[in-house]
Amino acid sequence: MSIIQQHSNATLGDAWRTINIDALTEDSSVNFDTSALHPPQPEVSEADARQINTQVRQLLRGGDTEGALRGCLDTPVYNGSEAAKDAHLQTITEVLQSIKASEMSPLLKSIYSSEGGNEALDVLMKYMWLQRNGRWRSQGLENAIWRNPPVHRRV
């Protein structure tokens, strides 16, 4: 009996590579603790997201749109329930819809030039991409952002 007759296509497909050669390379990501790349995010409850919403609304009533947007972006909900994430997205949507189109670019430039502004705008982009990919189309975030997209230019 030849080796071809002993092995079917399924068994050869399953066992064609039994050694993980990436583990033998010293610089491989297999040998690197990926949890060190980003710190663990705190668990955010829906009540916490609603509390942030209340604080942000107070800032909006006071006319501080930049402070309201920073308040949302400085406390993103990465680790929490879907209800908490949706509540926080609603808060961000309310803030963005309250900003006039003519005020959007100067406001984003101001945030970008402040301390931690780059990270804050990264958070904003994450929310925009989540919405753009269809997760929250009904919330209206697309209309708030894409009518006047932020442009980052080096000064």
pLDDT digits (tens, 9 = 90+) for 45-71: 889 999 999 999 999 999 999 999 999
Per-residue pLDDT at 127: 86
Q: Does 44-146 carry CATH code 3.40.50.2300?
A: no
| 60 within 8 A of 95, measured Cβ to Cβ | yes
- Single pTM value for the model: 0.62
Instruction: Give per-residue pLDDT as tens, 69-111.
Output: 999 999 888 888 888 988 898 899 889 989 998 999 999 999 9
Q: Could you state, in order of their start, the residue ranges of all structural domains in the chain?
A: 3-36, 44-146
Per-residue pLDDT at 14: 60
| 75 within 8 A of 84, measured Cβ to Cβ | no
